[in-house]
Structure 1
Amino acid sequence: MPIVSVQELAAAKPHYLIIGGGTAGLVVAARLSEDPNTVVGVIEAGAYHKDDAGVNIPGFASRNLFKPDFDWSFASEPHKGTNNRPVPQPRGKGLGGSSLLNFTVAVRPTKEELNALEALGNPGWNWDNLWKYMKKSERLQPPELSKEDSLRYAASPDPKLHGTDGPIAKSYTSNLFPPFPAFMDTLEKLGLPRNPDTGGGDSIGSLLFPTTVDKKDCTRSYSASAYYAPNAERPNLLVVTGAHVTKILLEPSHDGLQRAVGVEFIKDEQTYRINASKEIILSAGAFQSPQILELSGIGNKKILKQHGIETRIDLPSVGENLQDHAYAPTIIEVDDRVPTMETTYVDEEFARQLELYKEGKGLFTALPANLCSFIPAHIFAESEDLARWKSLANLEASSPDVFADTPESVKRGIRKQYEYLAKWLDDPTAPMAQILSLYLHFPVPGLPVDTSKRYMSLLGAYTHPFARGSVHITSPSPFTPPAIKMNYLSNPVDTGILVKMQQFILKIYELEPAKEFVENRVIPPVGTENDEKKLEEYVRNFLGTVYHPVGTCAMLPKEDGGVVDSRLLVYGMENLRVIDCSILPLEACCNIQPLAYAIGEKGADIIKGVI
């Protein structure tokens, strides 16, 4: 059904209630409601932004960042790793969740990363299984490129590796940025090959990355447009928007378990309670899923007691094991003949590009980025760096305060994760860093943009963070944001990788054929390239998030810091599952939206008893 009132949802007597109509939540809702005899309710705090240009037009992807109707606008706690600077943490607010706000990149993880999920104690969570669900969620639209451009830009996906009839469109832009082949050629000189398709689980190399843009009309393809909109008229799919969940209602069950019987939420300043006869599915993301668990009495009893919340299940791992990708930017000025997004800052050109967009052409049809490179550590670091980093792949190498209050079970699980990170450091098939290239002056606070010039930005990021953080409530009020402790750069390996990546990118700018496009360097300042102390300070001052938080409701054995088991059931609960990227115990190298869709697809099949 279209969006309904609270009274209509209650009258329908839902079998399932889903908290959060986000990237994974709407997948679960769509799949469960395929059975006309199953009533599914979705409770979403945001609105349905169906016709918003900032959501739908790919070139406008950043326009809704930090707008309260679209973005929860979280920020991490100040930390010494970033010189006591909070780092903004945008999260999508509305139907579609962060898929309405993200930058549409749809690169898959590696085989080894997904196989590690199973090895960490999660039967059935491996490459072969999740690959099927990634395929199920997507609909590949092959590149519309000449054979020559397919080779130059590394865009030749193998149709057998991709889905052909799934809800989410996956396409390749035809708006090619001229300097990128030269940068790929330069990367090949430095030992990094082109990789025309990472869809088979091998991510090493440079490519024109796929995005979740529907080439039919050049609009964002996301959870709300692909999973909800086509099914909105189902009488058994009921969605309430503008409803902020305050807690999950629990009752004692058999064998010491708790049973989730309903959800309490506030809409239009009124408090409501609605029950579900079968299950509650929590799909609020890496920051808010643990917050809702703690508000419901599920979490570390010490934290719950501080806020006067009765402990229903003492589960100290809730909110722990937080991980995120982070980057440090480089920005250069390029030849003014190169078409960058700065051209659209002039009213006449903006209007022209908007007219081109209506024809499926021009800068607004795609994210202002084409090139992505995944890099093994030996390409950008020396053997002595790798040896030193391997010796630091442990909890003890991190800042002393980071793990001071961390539960022992969580530390046990993190130690097992570090074993994989240490192994991947000197594995030539394991991506430990990423370059994301954009044809614009990347926004940097305090750094003005000369709109008469043209810019290109290369962001150097680590792909497997060694830092671990946490998310916990700071108040019994559901409207008070949780404390997000990212602890960026608390482990020196992360710092070392970002510094070496800065040097690596600066080397690219000095080599032909990339050099021919470089007019001037904007940041980091000239003269820092050979001074690692200055570069480290630069990294601390300019580090930003790649928007991929995971791990806070980790899918692991309980003794290793797990919050949910491999069936996605919360430990101690009979019928409460978490289905979103918070369950990932170990960060993958890629953008997490393909995994969010796969988790939703697999989670729905688990509930239906298909697997």
Structure 2
Amino acid sequence: MPIVSKEEFLSRTYDFVIVGGGTSGLVVAARLSEDPTLTVGVLEAGVDHAGDPAVDIPGLMARNTRDPKYDWEFYTEPQVFVNGRRMQESRGKGLGGSSMLNMCAFVRPSKEEIDGIERLGNPGWGWDDVSKYMQKSECYFEPQLTPEQTQELSMEMDTKVHGSKGPISVSFPSQIPPLHKEFLGSCEALGVGRNTQPNGGKIIGSFFCAGSVDPTTGTRSYAASGYLAPNLHRQNLFVLIEAYATKINFEKDSSGLQLATSVEFIKDEERLIVGVTKEVILSAGTFQTPQILENSAIGNARILEPLGIQPIVDLPGVGENLQDHTHVPAVVEIDPSSETLEMLDDLNQSQINAHRELYKQQKGILAGIPYSAFIFLPASTLAREEDVKRWVTFAAVEASPAEVFKDTPSSVVNGIHKQYELIREWLTSPLHPFSLLLHINGHFPVLLHTPDSSKRYCTFLCGQTHPFSRGSVHIKSLDPKIPPAIQPNYLSNRADLDILMKSVRFTQQMFRTAPVKDQIIETVVPLFDLSDGDLEERVRELLTTIHHPVGTASMLPRELGGVVDPDLKVYETTNVRVADCSIIPLQVSSNTVTMAYAIGEKAADIIRSVL
């Protein structure tokens, strides 16, 4: 126990059923089951990857995306503004969800944007509240360096903003990737200073990113290893894997609201049902939480009725307000003696063997995260004043082509208007980022170039932090196993394309600035000196997602397209809550995993406060 057989799982009714054993879901399960009087059941559609080296070894992390053993591998609808491409969307397939699949980066959002979530109508969700839950999830390992070294490398010097007793280990690798210091120096020459406390609410500048890696074992620290594994002995926690949840069943209570009574799921091709006496917590993620709500007859009547579903709650915000980070890779060739991910190529067997030996001591490339420098730029650093003024005008529904919002419910449009008000404010703030440059210690997969394993590379992912474009996720079939229609509308707002182009231009300028310029042998992708027209086309060709989708069950007032209230309860239900990144109403600038842990921690406290 708690991972049990189908027969064992079905032998009881649960106080709480958690749909999705991913990042937030396992947090809620672990915290609620601390009370031995409560019975908690978890339905997870994937499997248990505990002890799998492909998951545990940090240096191998990037290899699991697009592998159906680990990745649900969703695809978008054809993206009109990205040359009609259907773009791949990775989601973790197994206990731990995407914390099992991601690249372990552990960076918090800025204070401004968390406070912005509160300003959108969510009391109790500002920085002072949410940052406490971020700390609660962490066990931070301070780098063993002198103050001078931490300043030079731009590692965090103040541990007061971090937690020391949480389930998720956060640390820095023992091996510093090549050119890390040089990139920081070149950024400084361009007016972007080092930031030695990015997790205290201010993330502008350059810094060495910490990762969710346990330095004592050299393994990934994620929701399944941190929140579930230590609690396998609990007699009140039951997890059923390879159980695909399909819908929630309701009946009306005495007040006329919808009361969840059970959850349906598919296991071994059987359609089964499990009862619940207190609450259902949906933690299925940004793509599948709205899918389950719509299959449960909660959503927009215009979407549901053509499929033969009569809505029990007409909630137009379900599946709307999708936002996601995107990026364009910039790749350069560097000194062939550098230790980069190319050393792990199958053709370099002797080097692989050497790093396997190092890994036994928690050292080398395999033991650490495959990146270092994170660089967050405000709009004023990224572009000229006239460009920023133009972007301010693009922060409006009217700035996107008419077809993007023609079917969007009016309440959702009202909420997007409110989000754009914040974006316009942030555009003029020197403290708020609109571009992220992320250093990868090797050749990031690129559509237009195959790396030479005898050479060494580094990549900067040039991304935007606050997408102006908005999309949706909706069911397209009554078959619950058919993936939903994922329509991000990437680059539908011109500002997103402009910001990505400016991010690439800044990166190219950094490559040409001392001290790093003397360490670069050749630019690989994209080439220098492209015209704006050619660069625009290259951005459309190279664009990929950073896999940070949010917003499809937004925590907003109902009149602004909200799906859940600040207590995470789905409107017009008495006992269904959502606890995952689908509740985030406005995209944060950093990795969403820190928010996923905080949402799970806060959700558990909200639930326990009413027991």
Shorter-chain TM-score bucket reads over 0.9
Specify whether residues 177 and 148 from structure 1 end up closer, same or farther in structure 2 by C-alpha distance, changes over 3 A only: farther
Partners of 1:505 and 1:242 lie apart in 2 by: 43
- What CA deviation, in whole Å up to 9, does each residue of 1:55-102 have, x standing for no partner? 100001012111222111001111122111111100001100000000
Q: Which residue of 1 aligns with 2:561?
A: 561
Q: Which residue of 2 aligns with 1:175?
A: 175
Partners of 1:564 and 1:157 lie apart in 2 by: 38
Q: Which residue of 2 aligns with 1:231?
A: 231
Q: Which residue of 1 aligns with 2:20?
A: 20
Partners of 1:283 and 1:61 lie apart in 2 by: 23
1:246-285, aligned counterparts within 5 Å? 246-285=246-285
SS of residue matched to 2:586: coil
Partners of 2:514 and 2:390 lie apart in 1 by: 32
Deviation at 1:153, TM superposition (A): 1.1
SS of residue matched to 1:11: coil
Q: Which residue of 1 aligns with 2:219?
A: 219
Partners of 1:226 and 1:578 lie apart in 2 by: 21
Q: Which amino acid aligns with 2:532?
A: E
1:308-319, aligned counterparts within 5 Å? 308-319=308-319
Match of 1:487 among 489, 503, 506: 489
Q: Which residue of 2 aligns with 1:107?
A: 107
Q: Which residue of 1 aligns with 2:292?
A: 292
- What CA deviation, in whole Å up to 9, does each residue of 1:360-419 have, x standing for no partner? 111011121011111111112000100111111101111221101000000000000001
Contact kept in structure 2, 1:145 and 1:174, CA below 8 Å: no
Partners of 2:462 and 2:448 lie apart in 1 by: 20
State yes or no: 1:430 paired with 2:432: yes
Q: Which runs of 5+ in 1 are unaligned?
A: none
SS of residue matched to 2:200: coil
State yes or no: 1:397 paired with 2:430: no
Q: Which amino acid aligns with 1:406?
A: T
- What CA deviation, in whole Å up to 9, does each residue of 1:203-244 have, x standing for no partner? 011111111000010100000000000001100000000100
Contact kept in structure 2, 1:12 and 1:39, CA below 8 Å: no
SS of residue matched to 2:570: coil
- What CA deviation, in whole Å up to 9, does each residue of 1:143-187 have, x standing for no partner? 123444312210133111110101100111121023111111111
Contact kept in structure 1, 2:281 and 2:576, CA below 8 Å: yes
Q: Which residue of 1 aligns with 2:33?
A: 33
Partners of 1:225 and 1:11 lie apart in 2 by: 27
Q: Which residue of 2 aligns with 1:371?
A: 373
State yes or no: 1:455 paired with 2:471: no
Contact kept in structure 1, 2:48 and 2:95, CA below 8 Å: yes
Deviation at 1:117, TM superposition (A): 0.9
Q: Which residue of 1 aligns with 2:134?
A: 134
- What CA deviation, in whole Å up to 9, does each residue of 1:17-45 have, x standing for no partner? 00000000000000000000000000000
Partners of 1:446 and 1:509 lie apart in 2 by: 20
Q: Which residue of 2 aligns with 1:88?
A: 88
Q: Which residue of 2 aligns with 1:602?
A: 602
Partners of 1:206 and 1:365 lie apart in 2 by: 23
Contact kept in structure 2, 1:157 and 1:199, CA below 8 Å: no
Q: Which residue of 2 aligns with 1:509?
A: 511
Contact kept in structure 1, 2:27 and 2:600, CA below 8 Å: yes
SS of residue matched to 1:384: helix
Match of 1:359 among 347, 358, 361: 361
- What CA deviation, in whole Å up to 9, does each residue of 1:471-517 have, x standing for no partner? 00111111101110011111111111001111111111111111011
**Which runs of 4 or more aligned residues in structure 1 lie more than 4 Å from their structure 2 counterparts after TM superposition?**
none
TM-score, length-scaled by structure 2: 0.98
SS of residue matched to 2:403: coil
State yes or no: 1:380 paired with 2:387: no
Q: Which residue of 1 aligns with 2:543?
A: 543
Deviation at 1:307, TM superposition (A): 1.5
Partners of 1:481 and 1:29 lie apart in 2 by: 26
Deviation at 1:610, TM superposition (A): 7.1
Partners of 1:494 and 1:395 lie apart in 2 by: 14
State yes or no: 1:477 paired with 2:515: no
SS of residue matched to 2:63: coil
SS of residue matched to 1:254: coil
TM-score, length-scaled by structure 1: 0.98
Specify whether residues 610 and 206 from structure 1 end up closer, same or farther in structure 2 by C-alpha distance, changes over 3 A only: farther
- What CA deviation, in whole Å up to 9, does each residue of 1:530-569 have, x standing for no partner? x211111111111111111000000000000000000100
Deviation at 1:344, TM superposition (A): 2.2
Between the two proteins, the alignment pairs up a number of residues equal to 609
Partners of 2:564 and 2:605 lie apart in 1 by: 16
- What CA deviation, in whole Å up to 9, does each residue of 1:511-534 have, x standing for no partner? 111101110000112331xx2111
Contact kept in structure 1, 2:189 and 2:513, CA below 8 Å: no
SS of residue matched to 1:47: coil
